[in-house]
Amino acid sequence: MDNGEFEMRRLLAKLVNGGISRREFAERALGMGFGLVTAESILDTVAAGQDRKKRAAVARETEAFRAEPFSQKTPYEQWMAQERVPIHTGYFVANVRRLEVKPWERVGASGAFIDLTGAEGTDGAYVLDLDPGKSTKPQRYLFEEAVYVLDGEGETSVWHEGRSKHTFKWKKGSMFSPPLNVWRQHTSRGKAKARLISFTDLPLMMDIFHSAEFLFNNDFVFRDRYNYQPDYFTVNESKLKGGGSAATFGEEERAAVRILDTGLVPDVNALELYEAKSRGAKNKSIEMVFSDNVLQTHISEFETGSYKRAHRHGPGSHVLVLNGIGYTLAWKEPVKYSEAPKDRQVRVDWTDGTLLVPPDRWFHQHFNTGENSAKYMAATWIGGKYFVKGMGGGGRTHRLNTVSVHQGGNMIDYADEDPMVRAIFEEETRKHGVRVRMPDRTKGEPHEKH
């Protein structure tokens, strides 16, 4: 073995053991006369080997999970239970910022699951807490997620196995999605704790494959979704694409609307919204597709003293209130709210941080009783970029949100609603000293379908 070879072996051993940085290794290899391409290919090979070690460790953990067959519990419910963090259920969560979390071994942070009735196992959510300076364990998984930053600031690195890290920053109000099945690691960089909430289709994926190892230890790389595009986690003009979907905008509104198609939005509260009067008299919206996901998101804002039209669709629409004060009524049938059986009526009073999922195909209607506009973010099977018919009629039922029940749609126009709905709203706004800014109910708001 000559001196050069010996020196290279020594350097490699140091690199593998973490004794020198990748940059130091490259500099010293170049100084020894090795070319840049050789040095980089050695670094890539070493990184791939290290990723394989991590993957083997993950596999050891996930292999412990086996879904019990012939059970009344779904594979996802069984998997959640063995993760040993709190599981929050019901129709809604009053405030996701106050949700109890516990240390979560897999993630290396504290967390909790949110498994609400209206999701019907098509999608779900989890929250994560990260103390200042702390990072989650690197993870890779075969389900989509869209992350909203409830509090704090930090950064996330994503990477394909054996390749370099792509890092982007986030803060309270940011939304982003590590693309499907990339490695990801979140780090809190603020002075206070960061809390993230993530909306995922893991329930569906786990129920179908009932294999944690397949979902958490899968080599497939979706280069079609993400391949290190430098501007992937930013917003610019090129990210505004197509037109809005029929779930959110009326036919005449759609021509003027663009969908935001990106990996990250720095602050969803600062986005410019489009008129969406088909959904409500004083309503504006923007749809957002994160990282080529099928599970889509949108923002909706409606003015003080106004409320949206009632509508219904399939399961899984997670509505997270970003600001404002109001309430939501949900009822199964019929069109007239007061005629619905009492056990098929739900009222949720909400404010910043409330999360609700309207039950499958129940009518639901959002009311703003505060002095300012109210805004929410929804993660739904809306079928904007990719039209999916599964998920309890997902995209198909959502496309009927802006079409009246009289025309085979899923929307109750103001003129058709139960007079009690307006009476409750007038009472609630009076309590808050807020003026009602709604059109005369009997005339209704001018609508393209009327």
φ/ψ of 91, rounded to 5, equals: -85, -25
Return the number of the residue (184 or 309) whose C-beta is nearest Fe ion.
Answer: 309
* Least CB distance to Fe ion at residue 431 (A): 25
Q: Using CA atoms, how far apart are residues 74 and 412, in angstroms rounded to an integer?
A: 35
Q: Which is nearer to Fe ion, 122 or 136 (CB)?
A: 122
| Single-letter residue type at 83 | E
Tokens 């036919």, residue located: 251
Q: Least separation, in Å, of the C-beta of 295 and Fe ion?
A: 15
> Which parts of this chain interact with Fe ion (CB under 5 A)?
317
316 touches 394 (CB < 8 A): yes
Dist CA 419 CA 338 (whole Å): 9
Q: Rank residues 174 and 317 by Cβ distance to Fe ion and give the closer one.
A: 317
CB of 393 to Fe ion, least distance (A): 13
Class of residue 126 by CB neighbours under 10 A (exposed 0-12, middle 13-18, buried 19+): buried
Distances (CA, A) of 441 to 312, 333, 431, 436, 450: 20, 21, 21, 12, 14
Give the residue at shortest CB distance from Fe ion. Answer: 317
Q: How far is the CB of 380 from Fe ion (least distance, A)?
A: 7
Rounded CA-CA distance 445/404 in Å is 13
Question: In the complex with Fe ion, which residue's Cβ is closer, 283 or 317?
Answer: 317
Distance (Å) of CA 113 to CA 66, 87, 314: 19, 5, 22
Min separation Cβ 311 and Fe ion, Å: 6
Minimum distance of Fe ion from residue 310's CB (angstroms)? 9
Least separation, in Å, of the C-beta of 326 and Fe ion? 15
Smallest separation, CB 54 to Fe ion (Å): 40
Q: How many whole angstroms separate alpha carbon 371 and alpha carbon 323?
A: 11
User: Between residues 128 and 246, which has the closer beta carbon with respect to Fe ion?
Assistant: 246
Nearer to Fe ion, 293 or 317 (CB): 317
Nearest-approach distance from CB 317 to Fe ion, in angstroms: 5
Nearer to Fe ion, 158 or 356 (CB): 356
Neighbours of 256 (CB within 10 A): 11
Residue in the block written with tokens 């079409």: 403
Q: Which is nearer to Fe ion, 317 or 354 (CB)?
A: 317
376 backbone dihedrals φ, ψ, rounded to 5°: -135, 160
Q: Of 92 and 170, which CB lies nearer to Fe ion in the complex structure?
A: 92
Nearest distance from residue 187's CB to Fe ion, in Å? Answer: 35
Looking at the Cβ atoms of 104 and 367, the one nearer to Fe ion is 367
